[in-house]
Homo-oligomer: A and B are copies of this chain.
Amino acid sequence: MARTVDPDRHRARRLMILDAAVTCFAARGFAGTTTAQVCREAGIGSGTLFHYFPTKASLMTALLEEDTREVLAFFAAHRDRPAWDGLGAWVERAIEEAADPRVAGLVNAMIGAGALPEVAGALAANEAVIGDGLTALVRRGQDEGGVRADLSATRIASWVTLLVDGFYGRIASDEEFRAEDEAGVLRATVSSLLNGG
């Protein structure tokens, strides 16, 4: 009756598969990726894939949930720090993530898969967590001063997201648009947006 299940090994395997999925989704989009390609990339059999993830869509939702968890952690970590620092850190986080060339492609894949009902929920949840977290930060920034008050916190948060998502999108579609080169403009544009230009 040996305990064959090693939770650590299980978690590591799971992450390896998710990493393979990121590579594939980023390169070929969600619909353009077959589960067979993910298996090959991960070096596993198809049976094993479905042992860890019940459906192809669940790979995407797992990725989104993973990100949602990290986003929650991010906002939790900034709950007691100055709002302005939190907003700056959010932008820095985006710039750092954009350094992984797969991230921009993955974001596009997520958007493409967003039309699928199975993914829509996780995508909406992810966006809600980001929207809520940023809105809270912006509102606090308005209270603390430093963030403009002529727009609602919700709308400002939306515009910050617009800039960050637009940043990812540009990286994905424009070879010459490089995260490290454009980071400064992003920081400046967000700043300008936050304090009302």
Cβ < 8 Å to B, chain A residues 156-197: 158-159, 161-163, 165-167, 169-170, 173-174, 176-177, 181-182, 185, 188-189, 192-193, 197
Min CB distance, A92 to chain B, in Å?
18
Number of interface residues of A (CB under 8 A): 43
**CA A72 to CA B111, docked complex, whole Å:** 27
24 A-B residue pairings within 8 Å (CB atoms): A27-B115, A29-B116, A30-B31, A31-B32, A32-B116, A105-B115, A108-B111, A109-B115, A111-B111, A111-B169, A127-B174, A131-B174, A155-B177, A155-B185, A158-B170, A158-B182, A159-B182, A162-B170, A163-B166, A165-B169, A165-B170, A188-B197, A189-B193, A189-B197
